[in-house]
């Protein structure tokens, strides 16, 4: 496995502000090596608007603490994790990630 890319993993944390409201933030948990496997891109038509999306797969060494609520940054692009697939031996795991646009 050629882990020739660097990605940053951001963990979702929830804190309270001074007025007692919950605030969600993403904190850098780690920077890891990854292999990039571009999956697919597509377009959807919703509410008479055409929008596209990109899904990539990042293969990293197994990290059991990674959750679906985390985010990935690669080449200054922000991804939401939409799926996590560990391999059978728990050596590697695949993060299926959707590229975020400005509205999601």
**Which residues of the chain are under the pLDDT cut of 70?**
41-51, 102-104
Q: What is the tens place of the pLDDT at every residue in 32-58?
A: 999 999 887 666 666 666 667 789 999
Q: Which tokens hold the place of 83? A: 């799926």
Domains in the chain and their CATH numbers?
5-99 (2.40.10.270)
* pTM listed for this prediction: 0.84
Q: Which helix (H) or strand (E) holds 45?
A: strand 22-46
pLDDT at 11: 97
The answer to whether 28 and 10 have CB atoms below 8 angstroms apart is yes
């Amino acid at each position: 496995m050629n882990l020739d890319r660097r990605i940053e993993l951001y963990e979702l944390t929830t804190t309270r502000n001074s007025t007692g409201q919950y605030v969600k933030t993403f904190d850098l948990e780690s920077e890891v090596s990854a292999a990039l496997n571009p999956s697919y891109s597509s377009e959807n038509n919703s509410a008479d608007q055409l929008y596209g999306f990109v899904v990539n797969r990042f293969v990293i060494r197994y990290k059991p603490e990674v959750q679906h609520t985390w985010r990935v940054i690669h080449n200054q692009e922000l991804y939401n994790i939409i799926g996590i697939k560990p391999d059978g031996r728990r050596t590697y795991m695949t993060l299926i990630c959707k590229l975020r646009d400005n509205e999601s």
